Amino acid sequence: MKLKELIVEKAIVPTLKGVKRDDCISELLDALAKAGAFKPALKSEFLKAVVKREKKGSTGFGHGVAVPHVKTTEVTRCVAAVGLHVAGIDFNALDRQPVHAVFLLLSPEEQPEAHLDAMESLFGTLSQETFRKFLKQARTVADVVTLLEEADANPPAR
């Protein structure tokens, strides 16, 4: 799955303002709702579901990146938002380091294979040190879009 197909460009937030994990997740949900990915009235339900998922185990997998995600019947295709945080936030990551990039994924509950494809695409790209380094330096939506396009043009070997 191509990242440009998955990530909603209007839901790229180059400067997250929240200082806590849940605040940043909320900002990304706001961006997805504003972009039309789901009905705004569902935001609090999604926030509760994502936070509940985080309590089962952090999706901060280390190297400054987190991929919170939830499956729902309220979306018809996988959609993701990207948020960047210059200072970094505590996401209870596996390596205990601050998270600078958050990729929030919403997947259709009835399409588990699409969810797995999306996660594989995200983790494959985010496991590349060069991508993470340039992502941490990104300051604009255009910077992030360029990185996503480059990642799609040069996918990691699987």
**Catalytic residue set:** 69
**99 HSE (CA, 13 A, CB side):** 30
Q: Are 102 and 47 in contact (CB under 8 A)?
A: no
Q: Which long-range contacts (CB under 8 A, 24 or more apart) does 145-151 make?
A: 145/4, 145/9, 145/12, 148/3, 148/4, 148/7, 149/4, 151/3, 151/125
Q: Are 105 and 68 in contact (CB under 8 A)?
A: yes
Distance (Å, rounded) from C-alpha 155 to C-alpha 158?
9
